[in-house]
Homo-oligomer: A and B are copies of this chain.
Amino acid sequence: MNKKKICVVVASRANYGRVKYLMKAIQAHDELELQLIVGASTLLSRFGKAIDVIKEDGFTPDRSIHYVVEGETLLTQAKSTGIGIVELSTAFDDLKPDAVVTVADRFETKATAVAATYLNIPLIHLQGGEVSGNIDDRVRHAITKLADFHFVATEESRKRVIRMGEEPETVFNYGCPSMDVLVYDSLAINNDVMERYTGVGSPIDWKKDYILMVQHPVTTSYGEGFFQVNQTLEALSRLPEIQKIVLWPNVDAGSDDVSKGLRVFREKGHDKNFRFFKNFSAEDYGRVVANAKCCVGNSSSFIREGCFLGVPSVIIGDRQEGRERGKNVVHANYDADDIFTKVSEQLQHGNYEHDPLFGSGNTGNKIADELARIDLKRLKRLTF
């Protein structure tokens, strides 16, 4: 029997965290064959070269494609999308997959979706139907309209995708595949394992209490990233005793601005008890979240993984506005005082209960089974 060739495009370290266990499930499935394209920021050392982790995990890319135009502005993001389409279409034409998998809502995702659609290759979209109050919203919903099959992460998202006119039998809610890592791996953290992530700044003892800070630029308020990240840094500085783990931002427009905030903070020597990391493996990132006393910033992982694990989190600003969330999350404005208050309260509160809002794990296997089952060539119709 011919296996169905499922081509996964991994275009950022966040992407990889999401689909790793789906990739493993496809690889292990009797009726499926994995094709892997890695591209964009996965290849860049400034963003932690996720490609190295991907290879260590036993995956062999069929194609590696550079398509990030440097600049991290809105303009270069558009251009990166354009070049991504040019090159991904050549790769798809060559690899001839039976379906292409794309994740979430960023510009790399968009390039994948457009290229696959124009080539009449069935498009599988993960994590559609969510709302986050951002340019990402438009892109995510536009991809929903291009996609043939939708694997959403929550019940609310499932309903929303269907309300947008997608046929219910093409929309599946098996939860978010990024939860899988939390189930498959022990969540204990230890200094020996973590030693390989050097980072810069104060020394860290992973066995002691720490706050995790991850703050990405917000593309709709492009240009304010420097101010925004400074508010958070100032708030956390008022908690001198507890250790602070900070991750550099992703490659969105404005990331230069946020990075600059972090760099200036360090140069000024205000970084006592702060340590800065480029990235972690998906598993180790799961451990870092799981063991944090509080997560601060605007990463969607605080809402997803945080909800699953019950980690107290403070979401700042509007990057995740409108996104479904569990009880573990409180909101703060771009304001050092407000952030300080909310973080203090969350530290006080301590851990929340597990909440299955984003699924209960094993999502990768469920999606792989579904991909084997469905007729990928089904003709797409709008329900109204």
Task: Please list the residues of chain A having a beta carbon within 8 angstroms of any beta carbon in chain B.
Answer: 43-46, 63-71, 73-79, 81-87, 89-90, 93-94, 107, 110-111, 114-115, 117-120, 131, 135, 137-139, 141-146, 160, 163-165, 200, 219-220, 222, 256, 260, 267, 322, 380, 382, 384
Q: Return the contact of A163 from the options B138, B165, B380 (Cβ within 8 A).
A: B165
Contact A82 to B89, CB < 8 A, known contacts A44-B70, A70-B66: yes
Supply 17 A–B pairs (Cβ within 8 Å), ascending by A.
A45-B256, A46-B70, A66-B75, A70-B70, A74-B119, A77-B118, A78-B89, A79-B89, A82-B82, A82-B85, A83-B86, A87-B90, A131-B382, A137-B380, A138-B145, A163-B163, A200-B267
Shortest distance between the CB of A126 and any CB in chain B (Å): 17
Question: Once the chains are docked, how many angstroms separate the CA of A90 from the CA of B88?
Answer: 11
New contact pairs (16) apart from A79-B86, A120-B220, A138-B145, CB-CB < 8 Å: A63-B90, A66-B69, A70-B70, A74-B120, A75-B119, A77-B118, A78-B114, A81-B82, A82-B82, A87-B90, A137-B382, A138-B146, A138-B380, A142-B145, A160-B382, A163-B384
Residues of B within 8 A of A86 (CB): 78-79, 82-83, 86-87
Query: Which applies to chain A's interface (DSSP): helix, strand, loop or mixed?
Result: helix
Residues of B within 8 A of A70 (CB): 44, 46, 66, 68-70
Question: Once the chains are docked, how many angstroms separate the CA of A6 from the CA of B117?
Answer: 29
Question: Once the chains are docked, how many angstroms separate the CA of A160 from the CA of B81?
Answer: 29
Residues of B within 8 A of A77 (CB): 118
Oligomer copy total? 4
Q: Return the contact of A118 from the options B65, B74, B115, B146 (Cβ within 8 A).
A: B74
Residue on B nearest A73 in the bound complex, by CB = B66
Contact A78 B163 (CB under 8 A): no
Residues of B within 8 A of A117 (CB): 135, 138-139
Contact A110 B120 (CB under 8 A): no
Shortest distance between the CB of A115 and any CB in chain B (Å): 5
Contact A141 to B135, CB < 8 A, known contacts A68-B70, A82-B84, A119-B74: no
Residues of B within 8 A of A146 (CB): 138-139, 142
Residues of B within 8 A of A139 (CB): 117, 146
Q: Return the contact of A79 from the options B66, B120, B144 (Cβ within 8 A).
A: B66
Q: Return the contact of A78 from the options B118, B143, B200 (Cβ within 8 A).
A: B118
Residue on B nearest A199 in the bound complex, by CB = B267
Question: Once the chains are docked, how many angstroms separate the CA of A331 from the CA of B65?
Answer: 39
Contact A83 B69 (CB under 8 A): yes
Shortest distance between the CB of A159 and any CB in chain B (Å): 8
Residues of B within 8 A of A65 (CB): 90
Residues of B within 8 A of A93 (CB): 64, 75
Residues of B within 8 A of A82 (CB): 81-86, 89, 111, 114-115
Question: Once the chains are docked, how many angstroms separate the CA of A64 from the CA of B95?
Answer: 12
Residues of B within 8 A of A141 (CB): 145, 165, 382
Residues of B within 8 A of A94 (CB): 63-64
Contact B68 A79 (CB under 8 A): no
Question: Once the chains are docked, how many angstroms separate the CA of A165 from the CA of B200?
Answer: 46
Question: Once the chains are docked, how many angstroms separate the CA of A144 from the CA of B44?
Answer: 33
Contact A87 to B87, CB < 8 A, known contacts A114-B78, A117-B139, A137-B382: yes
Contact B144 A120 (CB under 8 A): no
Residue on B nearest A256 in the bound complex, by CB = B45
Q: Return the contact of A68 from the options B44, B71, B137, B260 (Cβ within 8 A).
A: B71
* The 10 residue pairs across chains A and B that have the minimum distance between CB atoms: A82-B85, A78-B118, A82-B86, A78-B89, A70-B70, A141-B145, A142-B145, A142-B142, A68-B70, A82-B82
